[in-house]
Amino acid sequence: MMLSEFDLIARFFTRPPSDTKRIVLGVGDDCALLAPTPGMQLAISSDMLVEGRHFFPHADPQLLGHKCLAVNLSDLAAMGARPLGFTLALSLPEARAEWLAPFAAGMLTLADAHGCELIGGDTTKGALNICITIFGEVAPHRALQRDGARAGDDIWISGTLGDARLALAGYRNELALDTALLDLAGQRMHKPTPRVALGQALCGIAHAAIDISDGLVGDLGHILKRSKVGATLCADALPAGPILVQQSLEIRRRFALAGGDDYELCFTAPATQRDQVLAAANAASTAVTRVGSIDASPGLRLIDADGAALDLQLASFDHFSSP
């Protein structure tokens, strides 16, 4: 069934705001109106997902709806911000209810779980392209920025790494994985869990944070560059995902260090705050693992379980140099 632009918005993307004090005006006018909590700062992030680049053609629309919002919530998590709302700009080849209904359901179920309301957007005809801009709030001077890491800080990782990259290797036939394992690893790729509660719990404890979307080495590199510090990372301390952990040491190291699509948090905190970090992680029901430390001297040093230097050639993902 083909829908008009206005039918499409009315049918799948218009719901009365659940919090009309915060969302003064939702979908349907020239702008949405948001009333921020007085004194709070707004955290804002945009992510654009392109078919064939960020997701496979003919991807399951419900999982895709989840993932598009999840990667944006992950950016709020990495700032320690509380989600408020988001806009959705959607370019798609045709307006079919059979695709839009599960796409909206996947997206809005996750939105509801985080109290994050769809407040506006745009729809147009074109190649499938999904652009979300998300809004959260955070108290002044409490946001977890990339530039706050200090020499002596511990480096921590939430959850586990590398299973999403392992699934990609399976789909691409770079590695042979049996179907059941590939399905499990694929869950990590298709349905990431944004660490929203952990990010907020770490405000006032962590010095710096980033979410791991392009691979740990590259993303930690952004913290090091912005904070003007270096780091030592124990490759064998990295919490490999339950499927990755069954692979060879070489694959384990490579995919945990430079996999991408993990959407875990990498954060730094003073060594004096270890108990507080663990308490915050516990309060957020999210496992965290200490994997290295921040050094004053620039550069990233990788070591193995025995403390010996590792020389791995790893590349972070770049949208314009990667195939």
State which of positions 20-39 bind a copy of itself (CB under 8 A).
24-25, 28-36, 38-39
Q: Which is nearer to a copy of itself, 61 or 170 (CB)?
A: 61
How far is 72 from 49, CA to CA, in rounded Å? 11
Question: Which residue from 14, 18, 20, 46 is in contact with a copy of itself, where contact means CB under 8 A?
Answer: 46
Alpha-carbon distances, residue 262 vs 122, 205, 216, 257, 322 (angstroms): 28, 23, 9, 11, 18
Q: Give the number of residues written for the chain.
A: 323
| Amino acid in position 29 | D
Contact at 8 Å (CB) between 76 and 196? yes
Q: Which is nearer to a copy of itself, 23 or 185 (CB)?
A: 23
List the interface residues with a copy of itself, window 229-268 (CB under 8 A): none
Q: Write down the least CB distance from residue 85 to a copy of itself, Å.
A: 8
Q: Which is nearer to a copy of itself, 185 or 216 (CB)?
A: 216
List the interface residues with a copy of itself, window 180-209 (CB under 8 A): 209
How far is 202 from 208, CA to CA, in rounded Å? 10
Q: Which is nearer to a copy of itself, 170 or 215 (CB)?
A: 215
Q: Write down the least CB distance from residue 176 to a copy of itself, Å.
A: 29
How far is 70 from 45, CA to CA, in rounded Å? 12
How far is 254 from 58, CA to CA, in rounded Å? 29
β-partners of residue 123 are 90
In 3D space, the residue among 266, 151, 269 whose CA is nearest the CA of residue 207 turns out to be 269
Instruction: Give the side-chain half-sphere CA count within 13 A for 56.
Output: 11
List the interface residues with a copy of itself, window 283-302 (CB under 8 A): none
- The CA-CA-CA angle for residues 73, 150, 284, to 5°, reads 35
- Indicate the burial class of 98 (C-beta count within 10 angstroms; 0-12, 13-18, 19 or more): exposed
Question: Which residue from 138, 161, 203, 224 is in contact with a copy of itself, where contact means CB under 8 A?
Answer: 138
Q: Which is nearer to a copy of itself, 38 or 307 (CB)?
A: 38
Q: Binding of a copy of itself at residue 305 (CB under 8 A)?
A: no
Question: Which residue from 1, 21, 58, 94 is in contact with a copy of itself, where contact means CB under 8 A?
Answer: 94
List the interface residues with a copy of itself, window 53-82 (CB under 8 A): 53-54, 75-76, 78-79, 81
Q: Binding of a copy of itself at residue 98 (CB under 8 A)?
A: no
List the interface residues with a copy of itself, window 139-158 (CB under 8 A): 140, 143, 145-147
Please identify which residue in the block is written with the tokens 């496992």: 287
Q: Which is nearer to a copy of itself, 140 or 307 (CB)?
A: 140
Q: Write down the least CB distance from residue 8 to a copy of itself, Å.
A: 7
Please identify which residue in the block is written with the tokens 């009365």: 16
How far is 76 from 97, CA to CA, in rounded Å? 30
Q: Binding of a copy of itself at residue 320 (CB under 8 A)?
A: yes
Question: Which residue from 43, 111, 182, 300 is in contact with a copy of itself, where contact means CB under 8 A?
Answer: 43
Q: Write down the least CB distance from residue 251 to a copy of itself, Å.
A: 26
Residues 6+ apart with CB under 8 A from 233: 155, 216, 217, 220, 257, 291, 292, 300, 301, 302, 303
Question: Which residue from 153, 154, 163, 211 is in contact with a copy of itself, where contact means CB under 8 A?
Answer: 211
Q: Binding of a copy of itself at residue 307 (CB under 8 A)?
A: no
Please identify, among the stretches 3-11, 56-64, 256-264, 289-297, the one whose residues bind a copy of itself according to the rule CB under 8 A.
Answer: 3-11
